[in-house]
Amino acid sequence: MPAPIAIPTSAWASRYLPSAPSGSDESSPDGDVLVSEVSPDGFAQDVLVAGVHQMKADEPEDVGGTNSGPTPYQFLAAGLGACTAMTIRLYARRKKIPLDHVSVSVRHDKRHAIGCESCENSEAKIDHFQRDIRLRGDLTEEQIASLVAIADKCPVHRTLEQRSHISTTRVD
């Protein structure tokens, strides 16, 4: 009986996995996010996170995109939702709160900045994130209140409420 032929798992799996970011021979170091446009004709982007996680970003068709992935604001909302759920779960574990499940939905929109002292433009808008938290478990009202309150301590929430500094460097 002939020996079985070994087919590398990577060859089989590559048919089902997204390809590496197109148009770029760049890599994404641990922790970094590399974003490369798919084509100069639209807005679609290949996103590589920490050299491992591959995603798409895009804009909706009504603004010239192909809707092949979340918008940048949807990625931001996803980060807030994920961080919130993780923070609540960590707190529940530490406090031994019987939380069976947590989910967070986040919506983003721009709102007029009413009463904004630092706004030079009376038409100024601010970013608003609506975060809805769902908690399941045999929880007391006190436990629910503490889980909802801890959501404001999530690192992404704190970052979004603070001013950030962004440094930009052109790389050849």
| pLDDT at res. 12 | 46
Q: Is residue 4 part of a domain?
A: no
Would you say residue 108 lies in a domain? yes
Q: Looking at residue 10, what is its pLDDT?
A: 46
Q: Taking 60 as the threshold, does the pLDDT of residue 156 lie above it?
A: yes
- Residue 40 belongs to some domain of the structure: yes
Q: Is residue 99 part of a domain?
A: yes
pLDDT, residue 23, reads: 45
Q: Per the domain annotation, does 155 fall within a domain?
A: yes
pLDDT in tens, 92-101: 999 999 999 9
Among candidate residues 50, 81, 82, 55, the one with its CA nearest the CA of residue 68: 55
Does residue 1 sit within a domain? no
Mean pLDDT of all residues in 23-51: 82
Share of the chain above pLDDT 70, in %: 76
What pLDDT score was predicted for residue 13?
47
Query: Has residue 22 got a pLDDT over 60?
Result: no
Do 44 and 86 reside in the same domain of the chain? no
pLDDT at position 14 is 47
Mean pLDDT of 153-165: 93
Structurally, the chain folds into a number of domains equal to 2
Cα first-last separation, the chain = 57
Computed over every residue of the chain, the mean pLDDT equals 85
Residue where a domain terminates, one of 63, 98, 119 = 63
Determine the structural domain holding residue 153 and report its residue range: 72-161
Indicate yes or no: pTM above 0.75: yes
